[in-house]
């Protein structure tokens, strides 16, 4: 196929939070357009409770769920940090435990340079 290897172990599910839907959509479009992610789900209505600057905070956020490849995960993280308005944006890459062969093949092609 010419893309990255197509095994679930090489897939990364990358979680990113954003302060609002406009920022989330902008990040999602950039990641897909630049082939850093094959697909990004934008999930509004997330409540985040976290410690920041010594106090417990609670905010509404939008969750991005990006599907990528392990070979693109570092570049994806760097791009999010460059575009994100937060001082410390959440970027967590999790390995996939499985997936359909056809989806994995599509994902590999979608993020191929």
User: Dihedral sign, CA of 79, 85, 89, 93?
Assistant: negative
Cα Rg of the chain (Å, integer): 15
83: pLDDT strictly greater than 50 = yes
Domains identified in the chain and CATH numbers: 8-110 (3.30.70.120)
Question: Does this model's pTM top 0.95?
Answer: no
Tell me the mean pLDDT in the region 48-75.
96
**Rounded CA gap, 74 and 12, in Å?**
11
% of the chain with per-residue pLDDT over 90: 82
% of the chain with per-residue pLDDT over 70: 95
- Written in H, E and C, the secondary structure of 31-100 is HHHCCCCCEEEEEEEEEEEEEECCEEEEEEEEEEEEEEEHHHHHHHHHHHHHHCCCCCCCCEEEECCCCC
Report the range of poorest mean pLDDT among 3-7, 26-30, 92-96. 3-7
**Rounded CA gap, 106 and 76, in Å?**
18
The 10s digit of each residue's pLDDT in 31-47 is 999 999 999 999 999 99
* Residue 8: pLDDT band with limits 50, 70, 90: confident
């Amino acid at each position: 196929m010419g893309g990255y290897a197509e095994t679930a172990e090489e897939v990364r599910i990358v979680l990113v939070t954003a302060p609002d839907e406009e920022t989330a959509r902008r990040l999602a479009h950039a990641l897909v357009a630049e082939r850093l992610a094959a697909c990004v789900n934008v999930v509004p209505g997330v409540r985040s409770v976290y410690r920041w600057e010594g106090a417990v905070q609670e905010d509404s956020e939008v969750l991005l769920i990006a599907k990528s490849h392990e070979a693109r995960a570092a570049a994806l993280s760097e791009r999010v940090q460059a575009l994100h308005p937060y001082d410390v944006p959440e970027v967590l890459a999790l390995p996939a435990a499985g997936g359909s062969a056809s989806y994995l093949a599509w994902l590999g092609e979608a993020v191929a340079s």
